[in-house]
Amino acid sequence: MPRFIELRRYTDSDGDVLTDEGVAAALRAADPALVAEDSARLGAALGRVLARLGEGERALVVGHSPTNEAAVLGLTGQLVAPLAKGAGVLVVAETDRFRVESLALDA
Residue 98's pLDDT band, with cuts at 50, 70 and 90, is very high
The residue among 39, 54, 56 whose CA lies nearest residue 2 is 56
Does the global pTM surpass 0.75? yes
- Rg of the chain over CA atoms, in angstroms? 13
Burial 68-88 (b: 16+ CB within 10 A, else e): bbbbbbbbbeeebbbbeebbb
The whole-number pLDDT of residue 24 equals: 63
At residue 35, the pLDDT reads 80
Identify the residue with better confidence: 19 or 2: 2
Res. 5: pLDDT tops 60: yes
pLDDT(71) > 80 = yes
Query: What pLDDT sits at residue 34?
Result: 80
What is the average per-residue pLDDT within 17-30?
64
Domain boundary assignment for the chain: 3-103
For 49-105, what is the HEC assignment?
HHHHCCCCCEEEEEECCCHHHHHHHHHHCCCCCCCCCCCEEEEEECCCCEEEEEECC
**Residue 55 binned pLDDT confidence (cut-offs 50, 70, 90):** very high
